[in-house]
C-alpha cells in the first residue's frame, strides 16, 4: 500500500538530502533581508492593525517563505520531467496518479514547513513573541499543501521552462506582494482588494497572522483554505492524468 507515495517521497528526499545545506542557506537569506529592511529599519516604531510592525511582518514572512518553498517544487518537477524524464519511472509503475500527487505535495509541504521553522528561529532572535495554537498548525498544513498542489498543476501543464517562468512572474510574484504579507490588504485600492480576495494567500495569511498574534481567527477563511486545497489537488490530479495524452 502507498508504494507510489513512499516512492515519490523517497526520491525527492534523497535528492534533497544531498542539497540540503545549500538549499537551507539560500532560502534563509531573503526573509532575513526583509526583516532587516522592513521590520527593523523601516518599520521601527510603526504599528499596523494594533501590532508592532515586526510582529505583523513575521507571519507574512512565514506565509511568503513557505509558499515559495512549497510552490517552488514546480521548478524541480519541471526539470526532472522535461530534461531527465524521471517522471516516466512513476508513470510506468503500478501506482495511482493520486499517490504521485500526494507524494510530491508531501515533499512540497516538507520544504514549506522547514522554512516556517526557520522564520520561527528569526522571530526568537528578533525578540518577537508568537502564540502557537492548533489553528496555526491546521492553517500552515493547508497553506503548504494547497500551494504545493498548485505547483504540481502548473509544472504538469506548462510545455517548457519559459512558460513556467512567465507564470511565476505574472501570477505568483504579484500574489506574494499584494496578499497582505507586508501590509494589510484593507489598505489597497478597491479594484486590487477585489483581486486579492480571490487569491488563497490572502486567506492563509489572515488566518496564520491572527492565530500567531492572538487575534480572532475567522473560521470561514479556514473553510475557504480547505476548498482551495481540494480544488488544487483535483487540478493537480487532472494535470498528471493529462500527461498521458
Which positions lie near another protein, rule CB under 8 A? 3-4, 6-7, 10-11, 14-15, 18, 80, 84-96, 244-245
Residue 101 CB, shortest distance to another protein, in Å, is 15
In the complex with another protein, the residue whose CB is nearer, 44 or 85, is 85
- Sorted by sequence, the CB contacts under 8 Å of residue 144 that are 6+ apart come out as 66, 67, 69, 70, 108, 109, 112, 113, 116
33 versus 245: smaller Cβ distance to another protein: 245
Strand partners, 142: none
Shorter beta-carbon distance to another protein: residue 186 or 244: 244
- 145 neighbors 105 (Cβ within 8 angstroms): yes
What secondary structure letter does DSSP report for 169? Answer: I
Nearest by Cα to 149 from 198, 108, 208, 97: 108
Q: Which three cell numbers stand for residue 227?
A: 476548498
- Tell me the closest approach of the beta carbon of residue 24 to another protein, in angstroms: 17
For residue 4, how many C-alpha atoms fall within 13 Å in the half-sphere facing its CB? 18
Q: 218 in helix, strand or coil?
A: coil
Angstrom distance (rounded) from CA 212 to CA 59: 7
Nearest distance, CB of residue 2 and another protein, angstroms: 10
What is the closest distance, in whole angstroms, from the C-beta atom of residue 238 to another protein in the complex?
15
User: Cβ closer to another protein: 100 or 118?
Assistant: 100
In angstroms, what is the minimal distance from the CB of 18 to another protein?
6
Q: What is the largest CA-CA distance in the chain?
A: 59
Output 91 or 219, the one with its CB closest to another protein.
91
Nearer to another protein, 7 or 174 (CB): 7
- Residue 102 CB, shortest distance to another protein, in Å, is 14
Amino acid at each position: 500500500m502507498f508504494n507510489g507515495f513512499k516512492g515519490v517521497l523517497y526520491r525527492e528526499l534523497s535528492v534533497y538530502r544531498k542539497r540540503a545545506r545549500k538549499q537551507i542557506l539560500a532560502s534563509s537569506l531573503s526573509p532575513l533581508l526583509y526583516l532587516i529592511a522592513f521590520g527593523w529599519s523601516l518599520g521601527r516604531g510603526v504599528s499596523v492593525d494594533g501590532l508592532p510592525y515586526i510582529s505583523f511582518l513575521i507571519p507574512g514572512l512565514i506565509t511568503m517563505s513557505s509558499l515559495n518553498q512549497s510552490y517552488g517544487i514546480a521548478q524541480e518537477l519541471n526539470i526532472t520531467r522535461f530534461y531527465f524524464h524521471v517522471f516516466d519511472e512513476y508513470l510506468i509503475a503500478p501506482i495511482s496518479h493520486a499517490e504521485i500527487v500526494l507524494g510530491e505535495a508531501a515533499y512540497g509541504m516538507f520544504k514549506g514547513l522547514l522554512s516556517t521553522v526557520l522564520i520561527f528561529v528569526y522571530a526568537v532572535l528578533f525578540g518577537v513573541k508568537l502564540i502557537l495554537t492548533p489553528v496555526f498548525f491546521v492553517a500552515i498544513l493547508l497553506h503548504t499543501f494547497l500551494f504545493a498542489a498548485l505547483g504540481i498543476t502548473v509544472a504538469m501543464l506548462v510545455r517548457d521552462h519559459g512558460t513556467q517562468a512567465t507564470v511565476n512572474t505574472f501570477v505568483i510574484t504579484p500574489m506574494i506582494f499584494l496578499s497582505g504579507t507586508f501590509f494589510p490588504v484593507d489598505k489597497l485600492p478597491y479594484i486590487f482588494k477585489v483581486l486579492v480576495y480571490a487569491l488563497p494567500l490572502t486567506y492563509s495569511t489572515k488566518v496564520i497572522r491572527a492565530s500567531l498574534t492572538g487575534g480572532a481567527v475567522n473560521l470561514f477563511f479556514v473553510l475557504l483554505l480547505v476548498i482551495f486545497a481540494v480544488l488544487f489537488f483535483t487540478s493537480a490530479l487532472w494535470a498528471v492524468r493529462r500527461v498521458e495524452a
